[in-house]
Amino acid sequence: MIKYPPDKEKARVNGYELYEKVFLGDHAEAFNIKTQGQFKKELEQLRYVAVNFGGMISKLSADMLFEEFPRISAGENDEFVHAMIDKNQLATQFYESALENSFRGDAFFKIRAKDGQVIIEDINPSICFPEYDEWNVRKEPTAHVLAWKVSLGQTDKGKNKYGVFKERHLKGTIEHKLYELEDDGSLGAELRLSEYAGMENMKPEEKTLIDDFLIIHIPNYRINSMYFGISDYKDLMQLMYAINNRITKVDNILDKHGDPILAVPEGVLDEEGKVSRKSFGIIEVPTSESAGAKPEYIVWDAKLESAFGEIDKLIEFLLITSETSPASLGLDKEGQAESGRALKYKLLRTIAKKHRKELYFDWGIKKLLMVAQEFAFKNKLKAGDVASKKPEKVEIEWKDGIINDTKEMLENEQMKLDNGLTTTKEAIQRIEDIDEKTADEKVKLIKAEQKENEPKFNADPFGGKANQDQE
């Protein structure tokens, strides 16, 4: 019996849902899912307080990868590749994908055609079910299957009817199939696509004309026993739970003791109820203990230093485990860095984490843009008004993800120029973050301006007039 999702994929798909809730700050619901409903029972009398460290960690990763968008080039087909990036808003899609990759552990992209245009889109990995060799996960999958639940209208009895649409990608071919979805989650009979709205013009099979998949998988990071990637949150869940639990307890304790009871000498209150004890929250104490005493509030001497100390230590462990430098979140106790170089030393582990993610995205983006070029070229598709030429190898120049110290950059480039280690054009490209063609134009303008500003010396101090007079 085939089920949707397949039994072996349920844990992965449920993990995506769990980690997404953590990313969005819905920690109470996330931990309730993780504890199978026990979490809400434990805290049903408390007001839950959560700090969204997960969201901060994922946003930091995406910021360092794509806040400074990498320079992408593709030789003779560069214009088309940049048109694809622009028309498909890939700068935004790559940033969003980096966020999702961080908390889910996986990112998938799909290439397709629509109205003569090549379309690239980031898709939810919860609908992706690759067919791969479990004993050799490094081997290329035999197929990429996309499957999702669809509404098929209502039955004769007015009950909602659902199905599962499957899009099976092979090299050169895409198969489309529709199945009934039974109440127990199993797949029923195959249905005719032509009988359902929105699918009536869909072919059971279409040719892509290229010998490659139109699905690209980019894992967050992984090991050789796992095909799918590992979420950044995998090692952080217990720490986030502990931090939120301690903050919640402290908050509720302080709230509980924020409205102290007033103690007054015996006899002050009218026993017949002229003063409402309940409304004022006050009590009487025996005369022997309160003779001559004035009314006073009974307060609790809160000793919370150990609780706050534990919170600080848990946050420290969280930052260490997530490879997040305190300086990257504005928590650096040593103050601001004196230079860009000093800041980079402080962010060493965070930068290393960024480079690890960069390894996977570098391969994935190159593969994505190469396949998209080939698909567009073979199917005569455009990106906006630009048609694809013969596919060219894609090159990516990544940035470090840190705000540049312009003064320091100028000093470094000047030292390279003085020592003959670079050219003026290369220095301008790096400092101004511009392409080679624009840098060439700028070099010409600079040389022309320098020539124009050079002092002009006349070899004949008399301008030729003296010689004329002598004649």
Residue 450 pLDDT grade (very low, low, confident, very high; cuts 50, 70, 90): confident
pLDDT digits (tens, 9 = 90+) for 321-369: 888 888 777 776 655 555 556 666 677 788 889 999 999 999 999 999 9
| pLDDT at residue 361 in the model | 97
Q: What would you report as the CA-atom Rg of the chain, rounded to the nearest whole angstrom?
A: 33
| pLDDT at residue 446 in the model | 84
Tell me if 26 sits within 8 A of 59, measured CB to CB: no
User: Average pLDDT of 287-295?
Assistant: 56
Residue 471 pLDDT grade (very low, low, confident, very high; cuts 50, 70, 90): very low
* Full-model pTM: 0.80
User: Average pLDDT of 137-149?
Assistant: 94
Residue 200 pLDDT grade (very low, low, confident, very high; cuts 50, 70, 90): confident
Mean residue pLDDT of the chain comes to 83
| pLDDT at residue 462 in the model | 57
Residue 464 pLDDT grade (very low, low, confident, very high; cuts 50, 70, 90): low
**Residue % of the chain over a pLDDT of 70:** 79
Residue 279 pLDDT grade (very low, low, confident, very high; cuts 50, 70, 90): very low
User: Average pLDDT of 275-286?
Assistant: 56
Compute the distance between CA of residue 225 and CA of residue 142 in angstroms, rounded to an integer.
Answer: 18
pLDDT digits (tens, 9 = 90+) for 394-437: 999 998 766 666 777 787 888 888 888 888 888 888 777 777 77
Name the most confidently modeled range: 28-37, 241-250, 405-414: 241-250
Residue 273 pLDDT grade (very low, low, confident, very high; cuts 50, 70, 90): very low
User: Average pLDDT of 62-88?
Assistant: 94
Name the most confidently modeled range: 11-20, 272-281, 347-356: 11-20
- Taking 70 as the threshold, does the pLDDT of residue 211 lie above it? yes
| pLDDT at residue 122 in the model | 96
Name the most confidently modeled range: 142-146, 158-162, 260-264, 401-405: 142-146
Identity of residue 325: S
User: Average pLDDT of 244-262?
Assistant: 74
What count of Cα atoms within 13 Å lies in the side-chain half-sphere of residue 202? 19
User: Average pLDDT of 40-58?
Assistant: 81
